[in-house]
Structure 1
Amino acid sequence: MKIQALPQSIINPALKVRDDIKSDFVLKALILANDGTGPLTITKLTYGLVALNQLVKEIVYPGDALTERLEDGYQQIVSNDPWILKSMLGSSIRWRPEVMSKTRVLQPGQEAVLLNEYFIAVAAQPIDAVEIRVQYQQNGIEASERLVLPVTDYHTRNAYTFPLKGVWQVSGNYDFYFGHRTHYALEFSIDMEKLNNDGMLKWKDAMANEDFVSYGQQVFAIGDGEVVDCFNDAHWRILFHDDFADKEKRRMLKQMEEQVGRMPLQYGNYVVLKHAHGEYSVYAHMIEGSVAVQKGNHVRQGDVLGRVGNVGFSTGPHLHFHLMDGPDVYSARGLPCHFTNLMDCRRNPLSLIQQEYTLVMAKP
Structure 2
Amino acid sequence: MEIRTIPEDYIINMTKEGHGKVESNFLLHGLKIKNDTDMPVVIHQINLELYAAETFVKQVTYSGKALINTIERFAQECTWLGKGFGAQLFLGKEGFWNPEKFSSTKTLMPDQETGLFNEYFVVINKEMIDLLSVAVLYEKEGKEYRQELSIPLRNYVNKNKYLFPLKGCISTCGNYNCLLDHRQHYSMEFAIDMAQYNKEQKLSFQEEMRKEDYVIYGKEILAIADGEVIDCFHSIPITTSWVWEEREPYFKQYGLAAQFGNYVILQHSNGESSFYGHMIEDSLTVKKGDKVKQGQVIGKVGHTGLSNCPHLHFQLMDRPDILTGRGLPCSFLNIKDVTGEPLERIMDDNIIVHTC
Structure 2 equivalent of residue 34 of structure 1: 35
Contact conserved, 1:26 with 1:117, CA < 8 A, in 2? yes
Whole-angstrom CA distance in 2 between matches of 1:308 and 1:298:
21
Residue 18 of structure 2 corresponds to: 17
Match of 2:249 in 1: 255
Residue number in structure 1 paired with 2:70: 69
**Counterpart amino acid of residue 259 in structure 1:** Q
* Runs of 4 or more above 6 Å deviation: none
Alignment correspondent of 1:361: 354
Asked if 1 retains the 8 angstrom alpha-carbon contact of 2:228 and 2:289, the reply is yes
Q: Is the 8 A contact 1:230 1:272 kept in 2?
A: yes
**Residues 46/163 of structure 1: CA separation in 2 closer, same or farther (3 Å cut):** same
User: What residue number does 1:208 align with?
Assistant: 210
Q: Per-residue CA shift, 1:240-282, capped at 9, x if unaligned?
A: 1xx32xx5x3xxx433212221x11111110000000111100
Contact 1:239 1:315 in 2 (8 A): no
List alignment gaps of at least 5 residues for structure 1: none
Counterpart of 2:279 (choices 281, 286, 292) is 286
| Identity between Structure 1 and Structure 2 (%) | 39
Task: Report the counterpart of residue 297 of structure 1 in structure 2.
Answer: 290
RMSD of equivalent CA atoms: 1.4
- Give the Å deviation of 1:92: 6.5
Q: Partner residue of 2:137?
A: 135
Structure 1 length normalisation: TM-score?
A: 0.94
CA deviations 1:15-44 (Å, max 9, x no partner) are 123321110000011100101121111101
Select the residue among 61, 82, 105 that pairs with 1:103: 105
Work out whether residues 236 and 254 of structure 2, in 8 Å CA contact, stay in contact via their aligned partners in 1: no
Could you say if the C-alpha distance between residues 203 and 68 of structure 1 is closer, same or farther in structure 2, counting changes exceeding 3 Å?
farther
Rounded to whole Å, the distance in 1 between the matches of 2:317 and 2:70 is 28
Pick from 172, 175, 186 the counterpart of residue 173 of structure 1.
Answer: 175
What number of residue pairs does the alignment pair up? Answer: 354
Q: Which residue of 2 aligns with 1:314?
A: 307
Range that drifts further, 14-23 or 158-167: 14-23
Q: Which runs of 5+ in 2 are unaligned?
A: none
- The question of whether the paired residues in 2 share the 8 Å contact of 1:101 and 1:111 is answered with yes
Question: Does residue 223 of structure 1 match 2:225?
Answer: yes
SS of match in other structure, 1:73:
helix
d(CA) in 2 for partners of 1:327, 1:69: 35
| Alpha-carbon distance between aligned partners in 1 of 2:149 and 2:206, rounded to the nearest angstrom | 50
Output the amino acid matched with 2:284.
Answer: V
Q: Is the 8 A contact 1:171 1:191 kept in 2?
A: yes
Gap change, CA 1:98 and 1:206, over 3 Å in 2: same
What is the identity, as a one-letter code, of the residue corresponding to 1:264?
A: A
Structure 2 Cα separation of the partners of residues 5 and 93 of structure 1: 13
> 1-side partners of 2:20 and 2:205: how far apart?
39
TM-score in terms of structure 2 length: 0.96
Residue by residue over 1:278-337, the C-alpha shift from the partner in whole angstroms, topping out at 9 and shown as x without a partner, is 111000001111111000000000000111100100000000000001121111110001
> 1:93 Cα deviation (Å)?
4.4
* Counterpart contact for 1:77–1:95, Cα < 8 Å: no
Aligned to 2:93: 91
Secondary structure of 1:157's match?
A: coil
CA–CA separation in structure 2 for the residues paired with 1:154 and 1:201: 32
Structure 2 Cα separation of the partners of residues 221 and 102 of structure 1: 48
